Structure 1
Amino acid sequence: MTEQTTAPLPAETGAQSPLWVPGEPADIALPPGNLAEGLIRSAAAFPERPALHYYGATHDYGWLLAEVEWLAGYLVAQGLQPGGRVMIDLQNSPQFVIAFYGILRANGVVVPVNPMNTADELRHYAADSGARLAVVGEELLDRIQPLLGAEIDQVLRVRYADMAGDDPGQPLPGALTAPAPRPVSGCTDFQAALALNLPPPPLVAGPDDLALLPYSSGTTGRPKACMHSHQGAQFVAKAQAAWYRIDRHSVMTSFMPLFHVAGMMASMATAIYAGASLILMTRWDAGAIPGLFRRHRPTWWSAAPTMVVDVLAAPGFSDECFSSLRVVTGGGASMPAAVVARLRDKWGLRFCEGYGLTETISATHLNPLQEPKPQCLGLPIYNTHAVIADPETLDPLPQGDLGEILISGPQVMRGYWNLPEATAETLVERAGRLWLRTGDLGYADADGCYFIVDRIKRMINVSGYKVWPAECEMLLYRHPAVAECAVISAPDPRRGEAVRAIITLRDEDRGTVTAEDIIGFARELMAAYKVPRQVEFRDTLPRTGTRKIDWRALQADAWGKTP
């Protein structure tokens, strides 16, 4: 970390905002112990409470803890030592939950990876983290097999269908119905490992020990592993349960990918900490949601805006489907204004956006439930400080000015795994407080609510003028024909960079709206240098593993580079 000598940053907390809930504490007590203790407590308090709903099967907390402890016993029998790393390469499933908590219960460290990763990417994660054991979905074995006997010693092979039930209203995705692959040397069946009923070891990993090594998406170079302690991860689970008023009577969705910190913490870890029920889905299927929601009556739904749009248009959807919901939350993309209005007017739901990073193991900011602001990150949550600083000097800026968002709190990572120089660039110390440089450009309004404009590194330089793609996208979404859009930089022989808008149109407007229409519309809303010079229409836009629009892939394509 780097010690700065200029003026100290102000301690700006959400509790200073007029929107903070009256009587709500500014800070909550930091949870002690191991992250797995959240599951142990919930199972002890209500063992028969449903923990997981999965394609017609319901598994209670007592069952879940038993499976977790048997996996912990097996991992230790295979030589896992305290602090040893284990890779999880799974789609959303009960086995992911068991693997996650089983590794922690064995005093190990979870290394979650994206199931879309290639063999070369997996090789980097295994070699970099030092994980010698991996829990892998059987549909992904061909990618992990080249690592066996080299970077990876043993694989626990998961067949998702082993923990599914029979739900005629929810068709099983291909990952659950495909024939079993041929046996692979070095692979052990996950169910067979659990069936050994091996006892778990004493729980010795404590609050300050390493718990998780999730990899950042990596804007430049290879992804970096973020070191998170048990206490930091537990804090996020406890804080979100308190913020959203989640308890053992809550029913939560788990549709966002669990390998990603948003799904891992906001859905899974928060639910387990509070003793809530989770509805798991291995592959997103909007058509199955109406039946699932009628049957399980969810109270909390974490969704990308595209998910909400898909469900509202799904066959069989009716107003009754959303009648049990109390919270709809998400982040990372703008929710169309018409959808926001429909949620509010029809069901009294306010879309509550939030903000967090892999470096903060998810949430640092959340919108107040009673008064969320659109396209807003929200307020800094409990125990969390944030400030807008000059990206060059890191001096604090006046309210309303654009600058880099800096964050300090118990959820901030300890650093990047084996990368001291990158850690020193990202974590800075001022007046005894450690701050994370997010790399996000934003501002705070008079209520202390934070707004993001864009990634600092995503800026488009048009003849020396700065253009922030997210700002352009927000304005383009006002066009009634625009269903989705992404604004990127493209090469321009005269200006160096040009603004390019890549757009999907609503079905009824395809073939009637032209690039000139979009450019003319933009001229009414934007300064001349921000107006897209190039407009491209596509039927669909590429997605990341978390279903966000993959602007990096689009931009790499525009520049003829590999993303």
Structure 2
Amino acid sequence: MANLAALLVGKQVVNLNYTASSEALVAGMRNAGVRHVITSDRFLAKLQQRGIDLDTAFAEATLHPMEGLRAEIGKAEALALLGIGSLLPAGVLLWLFGRPGRPDDTAAILFSSGSEGTPKGIELSHRNIMANVRQISDVLNTEPDDLILANLPPFHAFGLTVTTFLPLLEGIPMVCHPDPTDAVGTAKAIARYRATVLCSTSTFLRLYIRNQRVHPLMLQSVRVVVAGAERLAPEVRDAFALKFNKPIYEGYGATETTPVASVNVPDALETETWKIQSGSRPGTVGLPLPGTSFRIVDPETLKTLPPGEDGLILIGGVQVMKGYLNDPEKTADAVVELDGQRWYKTGDKGHLDPDGFLTIVDRYSRFAKLGGEMISLGAVEDQIRRILGQPELELAAVNLPDERKGERILLLVAGEIDADGLRKQLLEAGVNPLGIPAEVVQVEGIPKLGSGKTDFGAAKRLALAA
């Protein structure tokens, strides 16, 4: 309600990441020029319980709790506004209360997850959001009786565009739950209101599998499950299908692309030719959305590479951001124009197969250079989990400077582990010796962002401190 009301009167909305540090919140609000924060007394109390210093974080802004705003509206005024809103045409309401804007005006400013550094302010236009909503609605084949579960935080592009704006703008009912980590509460909401579309992350979907109180019948009404924001772990996909008898369709994108760029969808049968239209391919992140293009290029020369060859993933389409807030240099570095089209340089390494399905290998920033060879830190993590037979083991591989090899790999592990035994198992399994961690450090927990993804910046700081 607050987001739509702000947009209606021509404001730019900035949904603040309450899981970020006070320093990051203050820096973001200064960068975006935030002077007023619409919030809730109950929510502020929750933040204080989590140890967040509200006086520091919001020292330069005025807080407006919605409970207080509601109390200022008398019964007669509320009834009058209800009547006006119900009876008058939309055009008249817009003339009375709204402030018309242009499609390319900034609608929302989102701050990146900060998983690899300082969060950047990303400007998304009305055109970006409206286009991505329509693209997602088309590929999901939204139906008249659909109901979308909305439990992803609106400070994340996945939560703002897919589970907030999409249902509101497309006229699809939504049921809201405030905590994506509450698997039981979310499952109860799905069962009680018969939700049909569940969008989540691999980390959050794992919680439904592990929690014995989440019965398969609680998700019986769901017709499609989409995972995004991070790589879908194969063990999560398999275990979810085993427990709930429902496939997870993996998608891909970035905050800079509003966020969705591609998604796997159910296969379709063409009854005229009796051919199967392939909409999904396990291990890939699907085909690009209508109006979206992928291009795999050499990261240095930006020369287009052939299908099957790994390179830098570029995303082109109407949902590519306006740019980074107050940072034209970073914008010019991240968005390049090729063949008359704007392309976002994702920083991800991947390849396209001959049918156009995209496979992600890893982040370019998540490679360690040892002895002149590039080692994927994500691959190191996967092979350790596989060899130990612990697919849910919390760990993070970090590259640190090394005088002899250039870099070395340090492994952070949440839990007990025999470092010498692990090295022996990895060698016996024929793992590339360069991919074997030089050090193993046990920690209480792997740092996480509010979206559930590993906070690699904090993990690196933790590794350096160790």
TM-score by length of 1: 0.70
CA RMSD of superposed structures (Å): 2.7
Identity of aligned residues (%): 27
Partner of residue 542 from structure 1, selected from 429, 436, 447: 447
Superposition pairs for residues 129-528 of structure 1, below 5 Å? 129-138=32-41, 139=44, 140=47, 143=53, 145-146=55-56, 151-152=60-61, 154-158=62-66, 189-192=68-71, 201-218=97-114, 222-283=118-179, 284-345=181-242, 347-370=244-267, 371-479=279-387, 480-484=389-393, 485-504=395-414, 514-523=418-427, 524=429, 526-528=431-433
| SS of residue in 1 equivalent to 2:97 | coil
Query: CA separation in 2, counterparts of 1:427 and 1:395?
Result: 15
Task: For residues 435-475 of structure 1, give each alpha carbon's deviation from its aligned partner in whole angstroms, at most 9, with x where no partner exists.
Answer: 11111122222321112222222321223221121222233
Is the Cα–Cα contact under 8 Å of residues 22 and 53 in structure 2 kept in the other structure?
yes
DSSP-derived class of the 1:213 partner:
strand
- Distance (whole Å) between structure 1 residues aligned to residue 424 and residue 228 of structure 2: 29
Q: In the alignment, residue 399 of structure 2 is paired with which amino acid?
A: S
Change over 3 Å in CA distance of 1:264–1:248 after alignment to 2: farther
Structure 2 contact 229–254 (Cα < 8 Å) conserved = no
Change (3 A) 1:531 1:416: same
Separation of aligned partners in 1, 2:338 and 2:359: 23
Return the offset for 1:544.
Answer: 0.5
2:26 equivalent to 1:116: no
Task: Tell me the distance in 1 between the aligned counterparts of 2:431 and 2:230.
Answer: 20
**Contact 1:519–1:533 (Cα < 8 Å) also in 2:** no
Does 206-215 or 467-476 show the bigger shift? 467-476
SS in 2 for 1:112: coil
Corresponding residue SS for 1:259: coil
Q: Which amino acid aligns with 2:38?
A: V
Structure 1 residue 418, shift from structure 2 partner: 1.9
- The alignment partner of 2:13 has SS state of strand
Please identify, of 543-552 and 128-137, the stretch whose mean Cα deviation from structure 2 is larger. Answer: 128-137
What residue ranges of structure 1 are gaps of 5+ in the alignment?
A: 1-97, 160-188, 506-510
- Count the aligned residue pairs: 427
Q: Which residue of 2 aligns with 1:99?
A: 2
Structure-2 change in CA distance of 1:339 and 1:427 (3 Å)? closer
Cα distance in 1 between the residues matched to 2:289 and 2:208 = 30
1:553 aligned onto 2:432 = no
Query: For the structure 1 residues 241 and 532, does the alpha-carbon distance in structure 2 shift closer, same or farther, using more than 3 Å as the test?
Result: same
Aligned to 1:22: none
1:267: how far off? 1.1
CA 221–542 in structure 1, closer or farther in 2 if over 3 Å, else same:
closer
- Asked whether the equivalents of residues 238 and 273 of structure 1 are also in contact (C-alpha less than 8 Å), the reply is no
Once residues 191 and 124 of structure 2 are traced to their aligned partners in structure 1, the CA distance between those partners, rounded to angstroms, is 37
Out of 408, 421, 438, the position equivalent to 1:533 is: 438
Distance in 2 (alpha carbons) for counterparts of 1:477 and 1:447? 31
**CA-CA distance at 1:319 after TM superposition:** 2.3
In 2, the alpha carbon distance for the partners of 1:258 and 1:157 equals 17
Instruction: Describe the SS at the equivalent of 2:465.
Output: coil
- Find the counterpart in structure 2 of residue 70 from structure 1: none
Q: Distance in 2 between matches of 1:390 and 1:417?
A: 27
| Matches of 2:200 and 2:117, distance apart in 1 | 29
Cα drift, residue 434 of structure 1:
1.1
Q: 1:434 to 1:521 in 2, by over 3 A?
A: same
The answer for the alignment partner of 2:89 in structure 1 is none
Structure 2 residue runs without a partner (length 5+): 82-92, 268-278
Tell me if the contact between 2:17 and 2:25 (Cα under 8 Å) persists in the aligned partners.
no
Deviations 1:261-284 (A, max 9, x none): 011111111222232222222233
| More moved, 124-133 vs 386-395 | 124-133
Structure 1 residues 99, 242: CA separation in 2 closer, same or farther (over 3 Å shift)? same
1:59-70 aligned within 5 A: none
Q: Equivalents in 2 of 1:194, 1:543: separation in Å?
A: 40
Q: Relative to structure 2, which stretch is displaced further, 551-560 or 534-543? A: 534-543
Residue 316 of structure 1: how far off its partner (Å)? 2.9
478-487 vs 419-428, greater mean Cα deviation: 478-487
Partner Cα distance (1:114, 1:251) in 2: 26
The structure with higher relative contact order (CA 8 Å, sep 6+) is 1
Alpha-carbon contact 1:246-1:274 (below 8 Å) kept: no
Q: Distance in 2 between matches of 1:329 and 1:259?
A: 19
Q: Which amino acid aligns with 1:325?
A: V
Give the Cα separation in 1 of the matches to 2:53 and 2:414. Answer: 33
**Structure 2 counterpart of 1:192, which letter?**
A
Please give the per-residue CA displacement for 1:507-526, whole angstroms capped at 9, x wherever unaligned.
Answer: xxxx6x63344334434263
SS of alignment partner, residue 421 of structure 1 = helix
Secondary structure in structure 2 of the residue aligned to 1:264:
helix
- After superposition, what is the alpha-carbon deviation per residue over 1:234-280, rounded to whole angstroms, capped at 9, x for unaligned? 11111111111224421222222221001111111122223222222
Letter in 2 for 1:502: L
C-alpha contact 1:364 1:380 (8 A) present in aligned 2: yes
**Please, which moves more after superposition, 468-477 or 361-370?**
468-477
CA distance in 1: counterparts of 2:413 and 2:9, whole angstroms: 48
Q: Deviations over 1:100-128 (max 9, x none)?
A: 11111111111122012344333322221
What is the rounded CA distance, in whole Å, between the counterparts of 1:469 and 1:194 in structure 2? Answer: 55
In the TM superposition, residue 336 of structure 1 has moved relative to its aligned partner by: 4.5
Superposition deviation, residue 129 in structure 1? 1.4
Structure 2 CA distance for partners of 1:325 and 1:546, relative to 1, 3 Å? same
Provide closer, same or farther for how the CA distance between residues 460 and 137 of structure 1 changes in structure 2, counting only shifts above 3 A: farther
1:431–1:146 CA distance, 2 compared to 1 (3 A): same
CA distance in 1, matches of 2:244, 2:178: 27
Deviations 1:363-397 (A, max 9, x none): 01111333533342221111011101111111111
Distance of 2:450 and 2:228 partners within structure 1: 14
